[in-house]
Structure formats: structure tokens, C-alpha cells
Amino acid sequence: MKLTQHIYLVGGGRLGLGLSHESDCHIYLVDGGEALALIDTGSGLDTPWLLRNIAAEGFDPHRIARIFLTHPHIDHAGGAAYFQQTFGAEVVCSAEVALSLASGDEEPTGLAECKRLGWYPEAYRVPACPVAHPVSGGERFQVGELTLSVISAPGHCLGHMAYLLEEGGSRQLFSGDAVFAFGRVLLEYLPGADMWQYRQTMVALAKLEIRGIFPGHGGFSVEYGQDFVKAAAEKMVHAHVPGNLF
């Protein structure tokens, strides 16, 4: 589904538009011309479905040069190993994500708790995905003719990153689970959540002067991103909790 000149929605499950496996977050494809990128990979539980969506938009997945992971939660990062191993895509993520993907430790990813809650099958294992050079924020990456910047955005969990795309004079924010349409946030009782870091993140995001916001779940907006992030930040700086996504 084409959202802007260079951004496509190619996946998203029960908490999205029902385009791919029910456990998948929104998965965005960035078309940089000679190279493609994905923002998050979904859970990896039905990657063939995702590949069919990518092909249906006219893209060859072999051109996916980079995978940008927002955070270690499995609905976002579980499919990373597949794209790394199958297409040789470089995985861009924080040290915290890299550690959990390399070790298979299910606590920081929230997977252990999610299994206890019955959200994922007990047999589900995250395939190992070694990442040589984790990012910490401030890095810039080329995807063909486009540039994506890394923004450290902890709070929802440790090691959460957002990604900013410069597109036709506008800034488009891939916000993961940090902030959503209508200024909602996602505070969960999972390992690594931190309300004070979340507040600092939101204040920083509100200074970016974005246009579109493309979060990990729920709605997205090609126009009113700045209003939504500002609304969440204003709540937090007054010590109030914005509306939660769930």
C-alpha cells in the first residue's frame, strides 16, 4: 500500500490493517530507487506472506539493502534473521537489540513474558541474527537516493530507536512503539520500560518538526505527525500519561 512517494506499508497484523501474520507490527518499505529498506520485519512467523506483499507492489526483495529495527520486541524484530540470511540485508539496530538477537535471550525482548501471557506459542524461538555494528543514535544511512537518520528513543523499552526519513523537503518519522497517531503512547509492564526516559524521548521527538508519522501499530498519518508527537510531549512534560494505545 503506497503511503507517500517513497513509503509503502507491506505488512501489519491484528493490531494493524491485517495485511500479514497476526503477530506482525506495521512493516514499512522505503523505496530509495536503486536500493530498498524495511522498517521492522514483523515476527517472522509468516515471511512468505510478507514477500508476496512486497512483490505485489512491484519490488524485488533481493534489492532490500538494509533492515532498520526500532526495538527488540518480537513483533518488530523476529523476522530480521530471515532478511539478513536470505537477501544479505544489513541490519541496523541498537546494541540492546543486537544483544538479544545474538543471544536469543527471551527476557529483554519481552518474549518470555509474552509466552506466559499466551501471545506466542511456547515453541517459538527467535533465529539468531548477529549484528556487527549496532547504532546509538545520530548515524545516517543511505538507502539509494534517500537518507535515514537514527534517533535514540528509549522509554517504551531499552534500546528503542526511531528513524527519520528526509523526503521531498519533509521529515517522515518511523516511530516504532514510541508514539502513535493521535499522540498515543505504549507503556507496558514489560522489561526495560522506563517512564522518565520516555518523557525525555518525547520532548526530543517533538523538536523534529516532522510531517508524517509511521508507527508500529494502529493508525498512521502522512500529514499530522508533528501535532500528534507534540500532544504526547505536552502531556508528559506536565507529568501526565498520554492515552495508551491499548
Residues in touch with Zn ion (CB under 5 A): 73, 177
Sign of CA dihedral 38, 187, 164, 167: positive
Q: Is the CB of 109 or the CB of 211 nearer to Zn ion?
A: 109
All three cell numbers of 186: 505504549
Q: What phi, psi does 12 have (nearest 5°)?
A: 155, 135
Nearer to Zn ion (CB atom), residue 73 or residue 199: 73
When the beta carbons of 85 and 244 are compared against Zn ion, the nearer one is: 244
In sequence order, which ranges of 12-110 are alpha helices (DSSP H)? 47-56, 74-77, 80-87, 95-103
**Beta-carbon count within 10 A of 5 CB:** 9
Q: What minimum distance in Å lies between the beta carbon of 156 and Zn ion?
A: 6
Return the number of the residue (32 or 175) whose C-beta is nearest Zn ion: 175
CB of 71 to Zn ion, least distance (A): 6
Judge whether 57 and 8 are in contact, CB under 8 Å: yes
Burial class (CB in 10 A: 0-12, 13-18, 19+), 20: buried
CB of residue 164 vs Zn ion: minimum separation in angstroms?
19
Residue-wise DSSP of 134-160: -B-SS-EEEETTEEEEEEE--SSSTT-
Task: Tell me whether residue 46 or residue 75 sits nearer to Zn ion (CB atom).
Answer: 75
CB of 181 to Zn ion, least distance (A): 16
In the complex, the smallest distance separating the C-beta of residue 8 from Zn ion, rounded to whole angstroms, is 22
